Structure 1
Amino acid sequence: MSTSTNRQSAEHLELIFEIYSLIPTTRKITARELHLALNDKGIARSKRTVQRCLDCLLTYFDVEQDATSKPYGYRRTANSKLALGPREHMVFLWAEAYLKTLLPPSYHLMVDSAFTPFSTPSTKRKLIDIRQSESSRTKETSSTVFETLCTAVFYQREVRLSLINVPQSLYVNPLGFIVEQGHLYLAYQYQDTFHVALIDDVLSAYLTTFAYHYPNNFSLNNIPLSKKELT
């Protein structure tokens, strides 16, 4: 197989992962909306190409299609609800409430989606109230950036990262997230060194198809936040 063919295949896979990262679980999204979202991110592809990628996602990924009316809607398959007792429900409510105080409002729908399997009619009432100082609240950040980073960390995929005060884009290996004093950081490996960046400082994140191996004997505990700036 030629180098150009390999490159085309890699770009096609990148596009599939990019479209997958844009498909929500709590609502449906149309092919047209996905096409516009890609354009907003600077990824120019035809509607037919987007549809072909969706057909692939329907076959191989946890994506379902609502064909009851046109335009068809797409969403990721929601998990079934779990049978939990009051104590377990309160623990999950506590975790959900804390995440919402930690993350900007644009992330709250994703939090709701993640905790949907644990919700019951009684949890519609507010049973947990977590309060933080104004200084610990994060700024409004792109939910697309956050979801892309989550996908990259989970699947161990390299990302192209654009950061505030860093002139060039960086191809990095995202290793995980760190929370300190109400602030959320991304820990990543760039070349042979480890760094930390505030999520608020990430301007854009593009998921590639290149996998990476998690560093041997590595722990997030070993990264001091003082190394958050690139050197």
Structure 2
Amino acid sequence: MTRDTSSLQEAKMLLEVLKRIPLNRKISTTDLHQQLTAAGYELSRRTLQRYLKALSESDMGVQCDDKSKPFGYRRLLNSNDLDRVGLGADGALLLLLAREHLRYQMPPDLTNSLSYLFDAAENYMHTASGSSPEKLWLSKVRFVSGSLPLCPPMIRPSIFNKVSEGLFKQVKLDIVYFKSENEEEVQLRVSPLGLVQQDVRLYLVCCYEDTTQIRNLALHRIKKVELTTFIAEEPKGF
């Protein structure tokens, strides 16, 4: 009975790995491992490598590119990816619009764990007819700001990811921050409270250490950020 249960769990994990291998691009073992971890699956890198080797040597349509390191894996099957995950054209449209407009409102770990769905949605739209209503809809809608158009400031993905992780885990952050373009950097310990997007700018709402005053820090002015092990403190009534 234990052996049967173990075999079933291994089969389920193989399916989770398989559905995260994209059709139109290669993915590394590291990226796959990050996706599975973000989705809550406990799997060692060694076990994942064993699964990938088995999949690439079977008739499951998985190709391993071992010409350079890190190795890359992609699927060669022509069947529609969205059929496997139970989505249709409407689901593909919803996913692509959601990714575009919610990219700064979703925790990066959650976005990474759903990347196989976004890949499937992109593949669906890529192969859909040019006259498909869902495909045409993507070119018919735009978000337009009510103010003068501004170039969005550059936010490093590593900064956004760590700030979001600290906010999600509710722990304090150690930050190196520029108050303005010409000012020297300052070192701060803050309790992250939220993320706010104003037009093209993204702000971290927070409190400095040992204060209850609410501050807004522009993410593009954050030079460095590290997570601490201290629980973030939320002001009363926030």
Q: TM-score, normalised by structure 2?
A: 0.50
8 Å Cα contact 1:164/1:202 also seen in 2: yes
Other-structure match for 2:215: 195
Deviations 1:7-34 (A, max 9, x none): xxxxxxxxxxxxxxxxxxx64449xxxx
Distance (whole Å) between structure 2 residues aligned to residue 153 and residue 29 of structure 1? 24
Does the C-alpha gap of structure 1 residues 168 and 61 become closer, same or farther in structure 2, counting only changes over 3 Å? farther
The alignment of Structure 1 onto Structure 2 pairs a total of residues equal to 152
Q: Is 1:178 equivalent to 2:196 in the alignment?
A: yes
Distance (whole Å) between structure 2 residues aligned to residue 117 and residue 215 of structure 1? 38
8 Å Cα contact 1:138/1:200 also seen in 2: no
Other-structure match for 1:117: 117
For 1:122, give the aligned amino acid. Answer: Y
1:112 to partner: Cα distance: 6.9
Gaps of 5+ in 2: 1-26, 32-36, 54-68, 72-83, 128-134
1:96 to partner: Cα distance: 1.6
Deviations 1:20-65 (A, max 9, x none): xxxxxx64449xxxxxxxxxxxxxxxxxxxxxxxxxx9xx985641
1:147 to 149, 152, 161: 161
Distance (whole Å) between structure 2 residues aligned to residue 206 and residue 88 of structure 1? 37
1:153 to partner: Cα distance: 0.5
Which secondary structure does the structure 2 equivalent of 1:187 belong to?
A: strand
1:179 to partner: Cα distance: 1.1
Q: Is 1:160 equivalent to 2:187 in the alignment?
A: no
1:92 to 65, 90, 95: 95
Other-structure match for 1:34: none
1:44-83 to 2 correspondences below 5 Å: 62=42, 64-65=44-45, 66-68=48-50, 82-83=85-86
Deviations 1:145-200 (A, max 9, x none): 11100100000010001111364310001111111122211111112211112111
Relative contact order, CA 8 A, sep 6+: which one is greater? 1
Other-structure match for 2:138: 128
Which secondary structure does the structure 2 equivalent of 1:214 belong to?
A: coil
Distance (whole Å) between structure 1 residues aligned to residue 155 and residue 43 of structure 2? 26
1:114 to partner: Cα distance: 4.3
RMSD: 3.9
Does the C-alpha gap of structure 1 residues 137 and 27 become closer, same or farther in structure 2, counting only changes over 3 Å? farther
8 Å Cα contact 2:29/2:49 also seen in 1: no
8 Å Cα contact 1:161/1:204 also seen in 2: yes
For 1:117, give the aligned amino acid. Answer: L
Does the C-alpha gap of structure 1 residues 202 and 178 become closer, same or farther in structure 2, counting only changes over 3 Å? same
1:209 to 229, 232, 237: 229
Distance (whole Å) between structure 2 residues aligned to residue 197 and residue 149 of structure 1? 11
How high is the sequence identity, in percent, across the aligned residues? 18
Which secondary structure does the structure 2 equivalent of 1:178 belong to?
A: strand
1:83 to partner: Cα distance: 3.1
Distance (whole Å) between structure 2 residues aligned to residue 150 and residue 141 of structure 1? 13
1:208 to partner: Cα distance: 0.8
Gaps of 5+ in 1: 1-25, 31-56, 74-80, 219-231
Other-structure match for 2:19: none
Does the C-alpha gap of structure 1 residues 181 and 98 become closer, same or farther in structure 2, counting only changes over 3 Å? same
